[in-house]
Amino acid sequence: MISHISIKNFAIIENTEFSLHPGFNVLTGETGAGKSIVIEAISLALGARADSGMVRTGAEKAIIQLVGEIDGEETVIKREISAAGKNLCKMNGEIVTLGELAAHCKRLADIHGQYDHQSLINNDYHLSLIDLYGNKHIDPLKKKVADAYSRYTACKKELDELRSADAERLRKRDFMRFECEEIEKAAPRLGEDEELKEHITLMQNSEKIYAVFSEACEIASESDNSAMSALSYIMRQCESLADINADFRALSEELSDIYYRFEDVAHTIRAHRDATAFSPEELDAALARLDLLDTLKRKYGGSIPAVLEYSENASRELTAMDNIDARTDELESELETVTRELTVLSDELSALRKNIANDLCTKIARELQELSFNNAELEVAFGRISEPFSSTGTDTAHFLISTNVGEPLKPLAKIASGGEMSRIMLAFKKITADFEDIPTMIFDEIDSGISGIAAGIVGQKLREISEQHQIVCITHLPQIAACGDYNYKIDKESDGKTTRTTIIPLTQEEKIDEVARLLGGTVITETTRKSAAELIAASVR
């Protein structure tokens, strides 16, 4: 609820403040007095966007302060708009963003202007109205629909991504499988390339190696005058002197050691000679194998360790790709299941909405009768969205109305009269006010286009709503002003140089004068005062 408003240097308002009360607060004033400016100032305090052009001429900034109660706590809102274009928002002394201010104030007040009935021709509003009216039953089912839709979209997105990439994945999988098979077939070993290079070098120099080792064998041990024969003779001669003294014995032993070591060397030379016989086929095979390994190294990383690592990584990726087929099958099954679930839930939600819509239409039609639509008929036409599903179900909905006997039901947008739309909107608000958790409702000349008995009925309806909500209403109709619990006059004064607008709380006598003015114009007579008093008396709760 809003308890106090202060406005400084805003448009033609220099400095005014007033308190509001629970119940029905009515603001009236002559044409041009600044009624719309008051509403605009309140709108700014509630988080509307500012225009620096609204700062009073000659002032540096406009300041609007509002005291209200949000969620049971008193809240002081301050809005400053400078002529230079800067603006400041504060709540309880702390600076907040405009978005934060607007979000908080949505729980404080709702403003309905004379063109606010345009929301009634928005079909999205119609469906949300039905959901809001039946929220106790609809919200749990809507949550199930939203959860199922979330799973549906996630599953469908992943499946679509897998399918769209399927051709590329298959191409890549076939190529990687070829690469893995190529490496697996070659079966390279760590260090094999270096071993091959060394072996090829031996085979390419085999003739020279064989000639050298053959000649060495001949000299060392295979000729009649071989080195082994000469060493054997020298060793035997020295052995015969070994018993003469220790020096000869040591020399004999050293010669014996040399002989046997040389014998080992001669055996090794012979073995190298015998092993040097290589065939051209063996050399060609080794060269071909080395070329194969070099090809693998060029393609897969530059070395045999890199080739083996590439093969291991590719094998893992192939396994993952093969698993995609299994994941695709799994997702297709999951999508089928969640589609069935979402279809059932959406159908349940649609059926529930239709039942709730019937109840809502009955209540609104009753309100319309009280607003002089004696033969009004109302129903909701349901349709289906173009997409298969949505997070809020599959329904579209719009209200159809007939206000006269014999007229067909037609969309609210086809109602020609602005006055009729204002009363229809009020009938909707009377019902929605019971379940909208907004303490204050502000109506800015929604009575446009009505008069007489209809105006009195609108006033009484606003008064009924004010039993549960604080109502602030700007009006030019005496029938509505007469219904106010608290009345205020928006007064404009001019000294020839400047113009000032003030807001004055009215006493009971002043309220009679104001209602009389609205009835009869600027000249108030006893007759119009008497009529005003009778109108006020007839409007008492």
Q: Where are the domains of the chain?
A: 1-108+438-541, 170-319
Please state, as a whole number, how many other Cβ atoms lie within 10 Å of the Cβ of residue 373: 22
Residue 482 CA to residue 466 CA, distance in Å, equals: 14
Structure confidence at residue 482 (pLDDT): 94
Beta bridge partners, 474, equal 27, 444
How buried is residue 281: exposed, middle or buried, by Cβ count under 10 Å (0-12/13-18/19+)? Answer: exposed
Q: Residue 167: pLDDT above 70?
A: no
Read off the pLDDT of each residue in 41-68 and give the average, rounded to a whole number: 91
Tokens found for residue 194 = 């270096």
- pLDDT-based confidence at residue 101 (cuts at 50, 70, 90): very high
> pLDDT at residue 118 above 60?
no
Instruction: Write the pLDDT tens digit of every residue in 433-446.
Output: 777 678 898 888 67
Q: What 3-state DSSP class applies to 4?
A: strand
* CA separation for the pair 414, 122 (Å, rounded): 12
Query: What pairing do the DSSP bridges indicate for beta strands 486-494 and 499-505?
Result: antiparallel
pLDDT beyond 70 at 416: no
Local structure of residue 55 (DSSP, 8 states): B
Residue 275 has pLDDT above 90, yes or no: no
Pair 466, 23: CB distance under 8 Å:
yes
Query: pLDDT at position 445, please?
Result: 66
Domain 1-108+438-541 has CATH 3.40.50.300: yes
Confidence (pLDDT) at 42: 92
Q: Check residue 72 and give left, alpha or beta (phi > 0: left; psi -120 to 50: alpha).
A: left
Q: How confident is the model at residue 327 (pLDDT cuts 50, 70, 90)?
A: confident
What is the structure's pLDDT at 337?
Answer: 95
User: Is the pLDDT at 115 greater than 60, yes or no?
Assistant: no
Query: What was the pLDDT predicted at 423?
Result: 78
Angle 345-347-350 from CA coordinates, rounded to 5° = 110
**Given a cut of 80, is residue 518 above it in pLDDT?**
yes
Distance of alpha carbon 32 from alpha carbon 491, whole angstroms:
9
Measured CA distances, 273 to 22, 120, 197, 268 (Å)? 120, 108, 20, 9
Strands 73-82, 61-70: pairing is antiparallel
The per-residue pLDDT for range 253-265, each reduced to its tens digit, is 888 898 889 888 8
Average pLDDT, the chain: 87
Higher pLDDT, 244 or 213: 244
Helices (H), 165-279: 166-186, 192-204, 206-217, 227-239, 246-274
CB atoms within 10 A of CB 368: 24
- pLDDT for position 80: 94
Least confident span in 64-73, 365-374, 425-434, 442-451 = 442-451
Query: How big is the CA angle at 285 (ends 282 and 290), to the nearest 5 degrees?
Result: 125
- Looking at the chain, the whole-number percentage of residues with pLDDT higher than 90 is 40
pTM confidence score: 0.65
Q: What's residue 219's pLDDT?
A: 82
- Residue 356 clears pLDDT 90, i.e. is over it: yes
Residue 175: how many other CB atoms lie within 10 Å: 11
Q: Could you say which DSSP state residue 407 is in?
A: P
CA distances from 385 to 346, 355, 394, 415 (A): 12, 19, 5, 25
Cβ atoms 92, 70 nearer than 8 A? no
What pLDDT does 8 receive? 94
Look at residue 281 and tell me whether its pLDDT is greater than 60.
yes
Residue in this structure with the two tokens 């007469």, named with its chain if needed: 482
The pLDDT value given to residue 501: 86
Q: What's the rounded Cα separation, in Å, for the pair 97 and 420?
A: 39
229, pLDDT greater than 90: no
Contact between 243 and 253 under an 8 Å Cβ cutoff? The reply is no
Q: Which of 175-179, 382-386, 389-393 has the lowest mean pLDDT?
A: 175-179
Query: 246-255 contacts: CB < 8 A, separation 24 or more?
Result: 255/231
- What is the pLDDT confidence band of residue 533, given thresholds at 50, 70 and 90? very high
Calpha distance 476→472 (Å, rounded):
14
- Using the structure block, give the residue that is written with the tokens 């599903």: 389
Mean of pLDDT values over 274-298 = 83
